[in-house]
Amino acid sequence: MIINKLKEDIINLCQNAYGSKVIQKIYEIQELEYRISLSDEILNRNYIEIDKLIKDQYGNHVIQKIIERGYSDKLLILKEN
């Protein structure tokens, strides 16, 4: 499935203008299991990689979409550490 291909290079995709739009669109139209899988792939990274996404001009939109869709529990855990 295409989601599995996206997961291979997810961080770079999130930091790309077009890649981040694709990831955001997945959160809008894909089934719940795929959205959760993608969120897990992004949020199961180390804090440094997630921090880079938060500060990136395109990656931050993906993080915002994760928060909007309610998959942000992992972000709260990272913030506390």
Predicted confidence (pLDDT) per residue in 63-79, tens digit: 999 988 877 666 655 55
Number of helices followed by number of strands (H, E) in the chain:
7, 0
Sign of CA dihedral 64, 53, 76, 36: positive
Instruction: Find, among 43, 54, 45, the residue nearest to 15 by Cα.
Output: 54
12: tokens are 């770079």
Number of domains in the chain: 1
Residue type, 36: I
40: tokens are 């897990």
Enclosing domain of residue 76: 2-80
Mean pLDDT across the chain: 85
- pLDDT score at 73: 67
pTM value is: 0.82
For helices 32-43 and 59-68, angle between their N-to-C axes, nearest 10 degrees: 130
Least confident of 15-19, 22-26, 55-59, 72-76: 72-76
